[in-house]
Structures are given as structure tokens and as C-alpha cells.
Amino acid sequence: MNALISTALSGVVLMFVGLFARNKQTIKFFAIAAIIIAFIANLVQYPSVELGSYIMFGMIEVSKFSVIFNAVALGATLLYFLLSGSDFEKVGEHVGDYFALIFFILAGISLAATFNNLLMLFLAIEIMSIPQYILAGSDKKNQKSNEAALKYFLMGCFSTGVLLMGITLIYGSAGTFEISALGLGADNVSPLALCGIILVAFALSFKVSAAPFHFWTPDVYDGSPTVFTSFMATVVKAGGFIAFVRLFHVGFSGGTISQHWMLILSIITALTLVLGNFTAVFQQSVKRMLAYSSIAQAGFMLFAVIAMNQTAAQGIILYAAAYSVATIGVFAVLMRMHDYTFEGFNGLAKKEPLLAFAVTVFLFSLAGIPVTAGFFAKYFVLAAAIQQGHLLWLVILAVLCAAISVYYYFKVIIAMYFKQGSPVLEPVSSGFKAGLILTVIIVLALGIFPHVLIGCL
Amino acid sequence: MLTVLLILIPFIAGLIAFGLKGSGPKKLAMVASLATVATAIGAWCRLGTAPADLSFAANWIPQLGSQFKVGLDGMGMMLCLLTAIAFLLVFININNREYESSSSFYGLMLLSQAGLTGVFTAFDALQFYIFWELALIPVYFLCSLWGGEKRIAVTFKFFVYTFLGSLLMLVGIIYLYSQTPDHSFSWESFTTLHLGADQQNWLFWLFFVAFAIKMPIFPFHTWQPDTYEQSPTPVTMILSGVMVKMGLFGLIRWLLPVLPEGASMWTDVAIVLSIIGIIYASCIAMVQSDLKRLIAYSSIAHIGLMSAAIFSKTEQGMQGALLQMFNHGINIIGLWIIVEIIQQRLKVKNMDDLGGIAQKAPRMAIFLVIISLANIGLPLTNGFVGEFLMFSGLFHYNHWFMAIAGLGIILAAVYTLNMIQKVIFGNTNALTETTTDLQPGETLALSVVVAIILILGVYPKPILDLVSSTTAAVLKF
């Protein structure tokens, strides 16, 4: 709740700051201050929900789960501002607006983590999406950026329509918007509700770029300014997943209802894992590889949706944190490079050992190698699926795909450490290096002591 | 606490080594490995008197019931000792070599030592898995940075293979964990689980594939010859001397006690695969002209025999395999030391280019002959005792298996004697004319190897006594 209010207010404030402040550094400073305030305001709420959650006006439910997830989203955004905040001004003039849009997205995310009503879900998804369409097209003179924005907008509107239709059908069958009172699991499930659930599942799959609804992702992520891709592919995607998990765990569980959608979502998960991983292998550009890797990682996060237990809830939070932090780190270094291809990274370890080391840790985390956060993230989602019992085939498939993912993540490591070359990169400030070291420490700390985060749940 | 020290000494020394310059890392590595050997011997003495002192447990992730839990039993002690001695031998042998960016080289070597020791001492499945992966990563970088021409592709294949295997094992570990009543990863809860036969049936393969890739057993061995050939020789010593023992260790520590019924269901398949490996690798070794590949294939044959003996689940077979794990580690490191010396001096590893080294370097020739004979298991060398016990264990299980596996000895004699003849006897050629004999460091390392070979060949009791507790414990499951 506090997170929602503070981010929405910060967004408005930053628009005005952008109007009056002459210096772009000032705007960045305000943004960082605002995100820290939102982070603290959110944590302050933790004691009040520690023993139980509460629902406000039937619309939003503040719980431990939502507070912890907001902390992860806000913390990841803070790291993102620290590492990439100065890249905003390279995109265009309106730095204040960009920061404001990011804050509006965060407001949408914190609503997605707390909604208790299908209307709020719709609002959350829309608040998250609309600023993204703008950010995707913010590099106005660049054709690829325009293409990305248009593609994203058209596809996004379409999926929003599908979502709304699904919600309507569910309302028609349940007679309420409140997700904890849908009661769909009663002995006979109406076809109306089933259609609704499937439409909602498809629309949300689109938002989190799960196959076969992922076709927009590579083009949009590749065409958007890299600094915004970094945010869209991480925190926003995690926000989409939190909505997904909440809706299916609270609204569409109980009784026999989950039997009806389990198979469809399992197939979506399998497709996402296979398509994401196999296509990522063939990419030439690191940015596009990361776009496909984000699809592949979405496959793992979908496990949390279908597993439906406490481990899954812990898993999605840890996965969101591990994946967001590591990807933000890789993108931050990528933005310093002039050449986005794998060859562009050749010999980086000799020139900038710290950057190369940091990227190695982040990629280890994405690949799920122990003592990085990514290992426990994968551990928890796989454990959730194994506990669920019927998903062992999917787990084995996921494990095979994880082995494939090593191929494309290690291509970057091989280029940096084992190949000769002189990469061209922008000057790296010591502040940036300090930010990277902080990020590396967070990735390793979550990899050794994951209970710092999940213990709060 | 001695057990924790065994992991901590190389780990901390490794981290420090990254920051040192000049000959600093080299000296540090030597000191650290000496200290580790001393600690290991100290722990060995304690094992007889106060074994409880050697285990250490601390809460790690309370929500998961995972502990940082290390301890030493007979087998763990033996392998820690082997690891400590192996690294010391490697460091002595390469003492007068210069490596590019030596701080990273020694740092990574020491980190891999810490990882390996962690695997051998872990009594918590999650911790075991984590060390299992951690031992691999420094080795991956060592091979890719200092290896031969095709190193990048070859070591990458090695990494992906083993990573896939370990992920399957992770699935198995999580499944077992979800079945434990007290939600714990500890070895005790896993071994008291007694799952139904239908579950053990498929769980067996999740673990077996991981271990089989690491050992390696036919048909999971294809990464091994290339990796041994392309890796820098000091790393090959560690890979073949110590790291492949992780697979055998996994069988004895985890697979057999945790999934006894699964193992007995698939015993014949596992033994047949191992025996195919013995014959197949020996046949390929006979036609190799590349020294490193020859030793790599001979190693597959030896490991195959050990795995078959372990699966026979007889006391003799198990004791023999455990003894041979130690001996094979020592012998193969000896062989690699000589290969490394030849490669260092003459820049070739093809046997057809060699010959007549005995005339120019008689001491090296003597060492090579002794170590090679130990490698084929001649009586009075350490190899004989282990092989005899393993064959006798396999004989008790099934005569035919023993008879076919026994062909491996004959084939081993063929390719090893052929190698000796081509490398050190015959006439010198223009290249081998220039060979010089051993330097003091190399002599020292090889003397230690030969001393162990002869002592354990005549008196293997210390090692057999050490591991007998493990054998007794495993056979009870």
C-alpha cells in the first residue's frame, strides 16, 4: 500500500522536477531519493502484516508476500538507477519524464502484487503497460525504436482486450470480481468460467512473453533503447509474474478447478522453455540473446504459477530478485559497449577485469550455478514443481533446457576471457564500478544466504 | 575442526593468491599444500582416536533444513589425503615452470582443491551438490585459459556434459528431500529413507548419469580424452588423479546407501557398461600414438574396473576399488608428470617422434618403467593389490563378468609395454638427442610417487584398514 502511494506520488513529483530542474543530475538525484523513500516506506509496512494480511475495501490485499515482492522490485529498480541512471539522458531530452514513467510502472507493479479484485488486476496490467509503450518509442528519431513501440502497442492492446474479455466471462460465471471469493472450484465448473480462465491465462502469458505469445519480445527488446529494455525485461516482467501467480494461486485454485488449466499452462511452460532456449543459442547479438534468455527464464518462473504451493511463492520472489538483479547488471555493462555482438566482448577481461568478472557472476547466476542467487532461484521453482508431484516430466525438460542455456551464457564468458580482442567501450566511472561491486555482492549474498529474503515469507 | 581446515586452507590461500605478484603465488601454493598434507595426516591420526572431533555441523539455511555439515569417514579421509598429496606433487613438479599470469593459475588451482575436498567431506546433500559444481568451475577456467589449441570447444563440451549430469542429480536430490519426513538434506535422513522400489528404479538413473559422466563410464566418456589432451598437464593430473574419483565417491557415499534397491535392480546394466568401457577404451588405447590420449583411454579402462567392482557389492571388490582409487590417483599423476616433462623438453607428445630416451635420461626411464608397471598391476606394485581384490570381488558376483573384464589386464599390458618401448627404448633421433635428465624438483615428485607405489605394493594394510569401515557400512545397506 505504502509502495503504491509513494511510487505514484513520486511519478507526479518527478514530472514537475523535470519541468523545473535545469540539471539532469538533479533529476537523477531526485529519482534515487524517491526510490529510496519508497523502499523504506514499503518496509515500514512489514511489521503490520507480519502476523496476517488485511484487505482494503475489497480491492487490495496487503500481505507479507506483496510487501516482500515490492521490496524486491523497488530494490532492483534502485540498483538499476544507480547503474544505468546516467544513460537516460542519452536517449533524449525528457529525462524527468522517463523517470516519471518508470515510477508509474512501479505503481502498476505494486498494484499487481496486492490486487484482490479483477478490476484492480486490469488496472495494474494497464498501468504497467502504457508507460512501457512510451518508453519503447522514446528514441524518437530511431526507426527501430518506433517499430518497437508500435508493435508493442498493437500487440499489447490486443492482449488487453483478451484479458478484459476473460475477466468479463469470469464475472459472468462467478458474479463477483473479488478473487478470493470467485469460488470456481465447486463441483461443476461452468464452461463460461473455463473460457474466461483460458483467455486470462493467454493474456497474461502475452504480458510475461511466454511462448507461443512471445513473438513481440525479441523485436521490442531489441528495438527499444537498451536502458529501457533493461527495465522492461526484468522488473516489469517480474511484476507480470506476480500478478500471474497471485491470480492463479488465490483465484483459480481450490476444488478441482486447477485440473482444468494445469495442462494448458504446463504446455505453455514447456514451449517457453524449449523455444526460448533453442532460439537464444542462435543469436549473434548479446542484446537479442538476452531478449530470448528472458523468454527462457520466463519458462522457469511459470513453474511457480503451476506448482501452487508455499515453495512456489518463495521461489517466484527469489527468482524475481535473482533474475532482475543479474540481468540489470549485464545490461548495465552492455550499455558501456559499442559493439553489441559477441565479438564485441572479445578480450574484455584483459581491458576491464572488474567488468568482466561482474558479468561472469551475473551470467553464472542466470545459468543457475551454485553460490549465485540464480541457483537457489532455480532450486526453489524446481522444488515447488517436484513437490507438486505430477510435473516431473516438465522438471526434467527444464533441466535439459538449463544445460542448453549454459551454451549461450558462456559464449559471453568465453569471448571475454578466452578470446583475443580490443573491445571499444565508453569510459567507466568509479561510481559505476562501485555499483557493480554492490550488485555482485547482492548476487553472491542471495546465493549463499537465500533465507535472508525468503525467510521473511 | 580439522576437516573444516582442510577446505579452508586451500580456499583462503587461493583467494590470497589472486592478489600476489611474481613468485608469490607459487610459494604460497607450496606452503598451503604442505599445510594441507600436514592437516590431512593429522586428521588421519585423529580418525583412529577421536573420530567425533572430525565432524562439524552448523546451520546454514534453517528454512530448508540444510546444514553446513562436514565429516570424515575412512573413504573421505583417504580421498582427502589423496587430494592433498596430489596437489603437493603437482606443485613440486611445476615449481620451475613459468605460467602466464601465474597468480590466477595458482589461485584457481587452490580453489579447485578446496572444492574437491568439500565434495569428499560433505554429509549434506545440498552442500555436496554445491561443492560438486564449485570444483568444476576453477577447472573449467584453468583448462580454457592455459590449455592447448582446441581448448575452448573441448572444455566447453566437458563443462556442459558435467553440468547436465549434475542438474539431473539435483532433481534427484530435491525429490529425495521432499520425501524425507524431517525435511533435511543430511546423509542420515537420506539413508534412512527406504523408498519404494518403483521410485528407486528411476531415481537411480538421475544419480547414476551424473556420476557416470564424471567417472567417466561408457557411453558417457566422450568428453574425457579430448579434455585430458587439451588441458594443461598439471590440470590433467588433477582431473584424472582426483576429480574422476568424485564419481566413484558419489557411488559409494550416496548412490549405494541411499538407493540400495535401485542399485541392485540395475547392477548388471551398470557392470556391463563398465566392462564395455574397459574393453573399448583398452582397444582404442592400443592404437593411439598420442601419449596423452593413450593415458586418457587407459584411465577410462581403470575407472571402469573400479566401478564394476563397486557395483559387485562384495567386500573384496569394494575394498579393492577403494584402495585402487588411491593408487590409481598416485600412479596416473606419476605418468602425467613424466608426460609433462617430455612435453616440456621436446614439445611433442606423439610417441612416433620419440625413442631412445633411456640413453639420454636414464633416471626418467627407470621412473617411467616402474610407474607403468604399477599401472598394469604387476605384483609388488600398488596396482596389483587393488586389481587382485577387485577381480576377486567381481568373480564372486559373476565369473563371466570377471573373465571379460580380465581381458583388460592383458590389453593394458599390450598398450603400456608398447608405450614404454616406443618412448624410452630404441634408437635416439634428432629430437630425443637433446633430452636432459630430471631436475631436482621433478626427481623429488617422482620419488614420492615411486615410494608410495612400492610401499603400498608390499604393505597396503594402512589404506585397507582406513577404508574398511566405509566398506562395512556400505555393504550393510
Task: From chain B, pick out residues whose CB is under 8 angstroms from the CB of A449.
Answer: 61
Res. A199 pLDDT band, cuts 50 70 90: very high
Confidence of residue B38 (pLDDT cuts 50, 70, 90): very high
pLDDT at A24 over 90: no
A418 near B CB under 8 A: yes
pLDDT 10s digits, B190-248: 888 888 888 888 899 999 999 999 888 888 888 888 888 888 888 998 988 899 899 99
Does residue A107 carry a pLDDT above 90? yes
Identify the bridge partners of residue A54 per DSSP, sorted by sequence position.
Answer: A62
When comparing pLDDT for A154 and B343, which is higher?
A154
Q: How many CB atoms lie within 10 A of CB B356?
A: 19
pLDDT of amino acid A186: 67
What's the CA gap between B44 and B80, in Å, rounded? 10
pLDDT in tens, B93-151: 888 788 888 888 999 999 999 999 999 999 999 999 999 998 899 999 998 888 878 88
Chain B residue closest in CA terms to A361: B137
User: At B61, which helix (H) or strand (E)?
Assistant: strand B56-61
Rounded to 10 degrees, the C-alpha dihedral A283/A287/A292/A293 comes to: 110
Taking an 8 Å cut-off on Cβ atoms, the answer to whether B130 and A375 are in contact is yes
A282 to chain B, any CB pair closer than 8 A? The answer is no
Nearest to B63 among A375, A402, A455 (CB): A455
Of B130, B156, B171, the CB nearest to A410: B156
**Mean pLDDT of chain B, nearest integer:** 88
Q: Does B141 sit within 8 Å of A417, measured CB to CB?
A: yes
pLDDT recorded at residue A37: 94
- Average pLDDT on A90-117 reads 91
Would you state the pLDDT for residue A187? 67
User: How far A179 CA sits from the closest chain B CA (Å)?
Assistant: 29
Percent of chain B residues topping a pLDDT of 90: 31
Q: Are B130 and B169 in contact (CB under 8 A)?
A: no
Angle between helices A310-334 and A286-307 (to 10 degrees): 170
B153–A contact, CB cutoff 8 A: no
Residue A91's pLDDT is 86
Looking at the partner chain, which of A369, A396, A418 has a beta carbon nearest the beta carbon of B137?
A369
Helix (H, G, I), strand (E, B) or coil at B384: helix
Say yes or no to pLDDT of A254 above 80.
no
| Residue A27 sits at the chain B interface (C-beta within 8 Å) | no
In this structure, are residues A292 and A280 in contact, taking their beta carbons and an 8 Å threshold? yes
SS3 content of chain B, % helix, strand, coil (to 5): 80, 5, 15
Task: Reply yes or no on whether the pLDDT at B393 is more than 80.
Answer: yes
For an interface test with A, give the residue of B18, B61, B202 to mutate (most A CBs within 10 A): B61
Is the predicted pLDDT of residue B374 greater than 70, yes or no? yes
Closest CA to A57 of A163, A181, A143, A178: A178
Q: What percent of chain B has a predicted confidence (pLDDT) above 70? A: 100
Closest CA to B474 of B260, B268, B307: B260
pLDDT tens-digit series, residues A386-430 = 888 788 889 999 999 999 999 999 999 998 988 888 888 888 888
Nearest partner of B92 among B154, B155, B27, B152, judged by Cα: B27
Burial pattern A408-437, b for ≥16 Cβ within 10 A else e, equals bbbbbbbbbbbeebebebeeeeeebeebbe
What 8-state DSSP symbol labels residue B220? S
Chain B residues whose CB is inside 8 A of the A374 CB are: none
The residue type found at A301 is M
For A171-197, the pLDDT digits (tens) are 988 888 888 888 776 667 788 888 999
Put residue A271 in one of left, alpha, beta given phi > 0 → left and psi -120 to 50 → alpha: alpha
pTM above 0.80, yes or no: yes
Is the per-residue pLDDT at B63 higher than 90? no
For residue A224, the one-letter residue type is S
Q: Do A370 and B134 touch (CB under 8 A)?
A: yes
What's the ipTM?
Answer: 0.91
B174 contact A CB<8A? yes
Cβ within 8 Å, pair B164-A400: yes
Helix ranges, B313-361 (H): 315-346, 357-360
pLDDT at A151: 92
Q: Which residues, in sequence order, are bridge partners of residue A425?
A: A337
The tens digit of pLDDT for each residue in A266-317 reads 999 999 999 999 999 999 999 999 999 999 999 999 988 888 888 888 899 9
Looking at the complex, report in whole angstroms how far the Cα of residue B63 sits from the nearest Cα belonging to chain A: 7
- pLDDT value at position B361? 83
Provide the 3-class DSSP secondary structure of residue B67. strand
Asked if residue B363 has pLDDT above 90, the reply is: no
Angle between helices A191-207 and A118-136 (to 10 degrees): 30
User: Distance between CA atoms of A100 and A106, rounded to whole angstroms?
Assistant: 10
Q: Is the pLDDT of residue A72 over 90?
A: yes
A84 vs A256: which has the higher pLDDT: A84
Q: How many CB atoms lie within 10 A of CB A262?
A: 16
Determine the average pLDDT of the residues in B262-288: 91
Give the residue ranges of DSSP H helices in A187-309. 191-207, 216-223, 226-231, 237-246, 257-281, 286-307
CB distance B152–A383 less than 8 Å? Answer: no
